[in-house]
């Protein structure tokens, strides 16, 4: 039987995604619920805060400095790019397209790393099927699932979706790091990914950190040991994000809960965790 190459399958998925999702979305006016706020925040960063990442915004954030509680990295990157060329609105649509096009490859990277760690020999066709089905979940999940396409298009949860490919890349790297010996640059890259997740969206950053903690606990319980190099991942990530995390933790008492927010938040975290558990079972 002729071997099916993952690249060809994912390129076909990319083509369908471009035709039916990405290209039609370029005509969107970005006025859906949360989206105008995100656009305005990035424009304010570009016009008034650059080269800074955080600062006072009299128009939004209920009196809190911009970037003090809501992670500022992704909006900062878009602000820099839009200050060079193309508008903020177009860059958000470009990132939307790049996210959807890269997601199948990121999922496959994680699934393949996990499979090679759990099994001596894995069926590549099955891994491709699992990756495509997982991608379809993000297409079909309702808007209450924060990382889904509908949450982006129907609610305006921008940075949650943008960080999903980074999450799967990070999870794949964690599997490799704790499964076998890796070079220092690999640890550094994983640390940068975790820091980027935390500074881009708290939910996906929390999922990544939670998985890392669970993997560490599992390895300690199983092997009764833990190499100091494996702790570098968490240490470096914390140092890179300390300028944001420490003030956030110290001033967290100023945040208030809402009766509206728990449902999507729980659904988002629960959905991602359930997806990961499903991949492990498969």
Furthest CA-CA distance within the chain: 64
At 23 the pLDDT is 93
Task: Say how far apart CA 250 and CA 106 lie, in whole Å.
Answer: 34
What global pTM score does this model have?
0.85
At 279 the pLDDT is 47
Adjacent-strand bridge partners of 274: none
Adjacent-strand bridge partners of 66: 55
At 1 the pLDDT is 47
DSSP designation for 5: P
Mean pLDDT by 10 residues, the chain (282 residues): 76 93 90 90 92 87 82 94 93 95 95 82 83 91 84 89 94 85 83 95 91 84 71 88 90 63 48 51 43
Alpha helices in the chain (DSSP H): 6-17, 23-25, 35-44, 73-84, 88-118, 124-140, 149-150, 158-162, 164-179, 184-200, 202-223, 228-250, 262-281
Which residue, chain included where needed, has tokens 């980074």?
A: 166
DSSP string computed for 224-248: S---HHHHHHHHHHHHHHHHHHHHH
**With b meaning 16 or more CB within 10 Å and e meaning fewer, what string describes 213-232?**
eebbeebeeeeeeeeeebeb
User: How many CB atoms are located within 10 Å of the residue 2 CB?
Assistant: 4
Q: Residue 55: phi, psi to the nearest 5?
A: 170, 175
**Taking the alpha carbons of 144, 147, 152, 158 in that order, is the dihedral positive or negative?**
positive
At 30 the pLDDT is 87
DSSP designation for 2: P
Tokens, residue 262: 């728990």
Among 119, 149, 168, which Cα is nearest to 282's?
A: 119
Among 94, 105, 75, which Cα is nearest to 199's?
A: 75
């Amino acid at each position: 039987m002729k071997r099916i190459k993952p690249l060809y399958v994912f390129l076909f998925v990319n083509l369908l995604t471009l035709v039916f999702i990405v290209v039609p979305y370029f005509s969107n006016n970005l006025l859906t619920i949360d989206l105008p706020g995100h656009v305005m925040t990035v424009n304010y960063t570009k016009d008034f805060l650059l080269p800074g990442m955080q600062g006072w915004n009299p128009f939004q954030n209920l009196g809190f400095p911009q970037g003090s509680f809501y992670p500022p990295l992704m909006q900062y990157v878009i602000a820099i790019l839009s200050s060079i060329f193309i508008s903020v609105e177009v860059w958000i649509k470009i990132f939307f397209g790049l996210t959807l096009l890269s997601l199948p490859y990121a999922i496959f990277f994680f699934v393949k790393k996990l499979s090679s760690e759990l099994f001596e020999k894995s069926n590549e066709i099955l891994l491709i099927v699992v990756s495509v089905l997982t991608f379809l979940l993000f297409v079909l999940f309702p808007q209450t699932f924060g990382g889904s396409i509908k949450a982006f298009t129907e609610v305006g949860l921008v940075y949650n979706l943008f960080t999903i490919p980074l999450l799967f890349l990070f999870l794949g790297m964690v599997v490799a790091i704790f499964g076998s010996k890796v070079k220092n640059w690999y640890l550094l890259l994983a640390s940068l990914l975790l820091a980027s997740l935390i500074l881009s969206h708290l939910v996906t950053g929390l999922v990544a950190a939670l998985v890392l903690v669970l993997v560490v606990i599992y390895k300690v319980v199983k092997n009764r040991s833990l190499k100091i190099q494996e702790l570098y991942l968490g240490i470096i990530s914390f140092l890179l994000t300390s300028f944001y995390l420490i003030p956030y933790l110290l001033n967290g008492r100023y945040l208030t809960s809402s009766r509206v927010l728990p449902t999507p938040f729980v659904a988002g975290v629960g959905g991602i965790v359930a997806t990961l558990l499903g991949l492990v079972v498969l």
